[in-house]
Amino acid sequence: MKIAVLSGKGGTGKTFVSVNLAAASKSSLYVDCDVEEPNGYLFFKPENVDKRPIEVKIPYFNEELCSGCRKCVDFCKFNALAYIGNRVKVFDRLCHSCGGCSLLCERKAIFEKDKIIGFIELGASENVQVATGILNTGESTGVPIIKKLLEIIKERDKNTFIDCPPGSACTVMESIKESDYCILVAEPTLFGRHNLKMVYELVKLFNKPHGAILNKYMDGDNPSEEFCLENHIKILGKVPFDKNLARINSKGIIAVREYEVYRNLFKKILADLEEEVRYETAINSKW
């Protein structure tokens, strides 16, 4: 099964949930698609890491062929091109490598060259294969790196946990595309409820089966829990508010590998998750 783990903002516990679910599985693949700030590797400390560059195509111009018509500048919706001092200038950090400008130029004055925008790292940590996407600072989009990570998922037949970027932008949409099920991680505050609503609307839009994990759970009012009950979102688990857990996380320790109470909690979530995915797969195959 392929499980995407989402949250409306960073710091909600998305990486904590993905890392511990992957570690609680017998054999699994953890994929860090939070390419602007990957941090799952700090917990797994993978060994035998294979680092591969990710390249995209960036246009460059032959000034002798260019007529100065500026059609390419008008075409680029990302404002990555400007006509300055009788020549076209490329702002390559804004370019999304769509290839449109070079297709459009009637004078064939635009060529493409490769540019490295980041890396993927593949390693192993006990029972978990770890794939991490890393976007170089200042680059405009991590989508090409996420696409490469998703190719790895297709190659491997394992329980896979996709640690998505926070929010609901295009990198998140790309990250959940291949998933069988989405876990929405939420905090027990009004802001947490707002963030939960954001990712809930996204998974509904993509028609993805989903459930929630309530993190930092305490007795008393819990606006995120209320949102789940109002919208019939299955609550897969409740991770209690625990200062010791904060200490464990800050030291980069994987809770399920060290503490039985968390091993039991995540094994139970995993069992419920497998049941959910089986059920959803059976329903979908009927249609």
Contacts to ligand SF4 by CB under 6 A: 59, 61, 66-72, 75-76, 78, 80-81, 88, 95-101, 105, 107, 109-110
Give 45 or 113: the residue with its C-beta nearer to ligand SF4. 113
Give 84 or 282: the residue with its C-beta nearer to ligand SF4. 84
Q: Tell me the closest approach of the beta carbon of residue 89 to ligand SF4, in angstroms.
A: 10
215 touches 13 (CB < 8 A)? yes
Cα 212 to Cα 5: distance, rounded to the nearest angstrom: 9
Q: Tell me the closest approach of the beta carbon of residue 108 to ligand SF4, in angstroms.
A: 8
Give 114 or 226: the residue with its C-beta nearer to ligand SF4. 114
Q: Tell me the closest approach of the beta carbon of residue 46 to ligand SF4, in angstroms.
A: 34
Strands 47-61 and 234-240: unpaired
Q: How many angstroms from the chain centroid is the CA of residue 41?
A: 14
- Other residues' Cβ atoms within 10 Å of the Cβ of residue 263: 16
Q: Tell me the closest approach of the beta carbon of residue 34 to ligand SF4, in angstroms.
A: 24
209 touches 200 (CB < 8 A)? no
Tell me the two tokens of residue 206. Answer: 């993509």
Which H or E run includes 215? strand 210-217
Give 98 or 122: the residue with its C-beta nearer to ligand SF4. 98
Q: Concatenated DSSP letters for 27-64?
A: SEEEEE--TTS--HHHHH--EEEEEEEEEEEEEEE-TT
Cα 231 to Cα 53: distance, rounded to the nearest angstrom: 43
Give 60 or 191: the residue with its C-beta nearer to ligand SF4. 60
Q: Tell me the closest approach of the beta carbon of residue 174 to ligand SF4, in angstroms.
A: 17
Q: Tell me the closest approach of the beta carbon of residue 85 to ligand SF4, in angstroms.
A: 13
Cα 277 to Cα 116: distance, rounded to the nearest angstrom: 37
Q: Tell me the closest approach of the beta carbon of residue 141 to ligand SF4, in angstroms.
A: 10
Give 17 or 95: the residue with its C-beta nearer to ligand SF4. 95
Give 92 or 274: the residue with its C-beta nearer to ligand SF4. 92
Q: Which residues contact 84 (CB under 8 A, 6 or more apart)?
A: none
HSE (side-chain half, CA atoms, 13 Å) at 246: 8
Give 81 or 135: the residue with its C-beta nearer to ligand SF4. 81
- The DSSP secondary-structure symbol of 165 reads P
Which H or E run includes 154? helix 143-155
Q: Tell me the closest approach of the beta carbon of residue 77 to ligand SF4, in angstroms.
A: 7
